[in-house]
Structure 1
Amino acid sequence: MSPPRRLHHPQQNPLPPRLTKPAALAALHNHDQFLSADPHLTSYKRLSAPGEVSGDYASYQVPASIVPIAAADGDQVKVYEVHDHVPNPVWSSDVTSVEEFVDCADGVWVRVRSPLGIVLETTWNKNGTAEEEEEEATLELVQTCECRCNRLLASICKGQIEKGWREVHQKLIQGMLGDGSGGDKDGKTAGGGAAAAAVAAPTATVAA
């Protein structure tokens, strides 16, 4: 069996000048709205914890660089079962993934576990110093994505990520501005999910 391949895909988009950092972060921490940015999403639901972890924070093996903020319900990791319809030549078009969300002070970290051993970890965040923020520097939506997969699937995964990130960013920014239609708590959405389906697990930050 071929060893796993790691793909790195940093992407960033400037945010509209009228958009504040608190509004951008609130949108990233709204998982229903975040999931609704996936153009391939058909449905999703909240899970208590996936079968391979015990449910405590340490068992998720979140990277040490990710520092969670306190959660109102006590769950620092939110887990969702996400269903996407993604036409492709290799696996079934109907894809079920498990996605783990960790809210951070500057954004959100997401791990997506998809069929065929595909694991996507993404960070969406806000970069910049306190001095830059005081000067109202332009905010950016920064996505840092690492995909681990079989070498035979690397080109397909890379193509899916590169094809879909602009639409995902656009939908996230629309949601931040209140122009999007986010999902509801029952997982019935008007849009798509956290990233481009079976090969998208983003960490996002809002950066100045």
Structure 2
Amino acid sequence: MVLISSPTVALAQAPANNDGLRPVLASDARLEKVASGFRFTEGPVYERKTNSVLFSDQPTSTINRYDCATGKVSLYRGADVVPNGNIFDSMNRFIGCEHKTRRISRTDADGRIVTLAYLYQGKRLNSPNDVVIKSDGTMYFTDPPYGLPRLTEGKEQPANGVYRIEKNGDVTLLTTDHAMPNGLAFSPDEKTLYVA
């Protein structure tokens, strides 16, 4: 596996008719505000089963659901966890990164919340930020200190890392080469993991 990171983040606009966007974006696509009133949103993830987008609002420590059919927003889960990156696994279970609890959690169909990772080598994670799942079921997540007071208070991991959660639950540190690892994405063939 190849890890590719970007030392800087650049925001750019690309026209909808850009050749690279044609496979995923209609040529007449337009940007539209669908909801407001949030303080700092993160981790949008589409849930096919309900035709909705779930997203975190960190300062309010909530995960909200935007219904794509009705345009209504409702509370999916409220808990004092400071949620961040989110994804659904192959069984449509909600997987979330939680800054305050310093863990990766799974919400089962019955509403039960299960901790998937919160320790590495007996020490608490910093503040899991983003998560992706490979087609074989392994999960990858970033663990920068963004959720820690002053980025250092209570820090137990000596470095900010990119980790893998094996299907058996084992947590493996892949790299500490990224000062502040953030977003993650796989290449279509899953041979490359991009780290922002």
- The answer to which structure, 1 or 2, has the higher relative contact order (CA under 8 A, 6+ apart) is 1
TM-score (norm 2): 0.29
- Give the number of the structure whose residues are more often helix, by fraction: 1
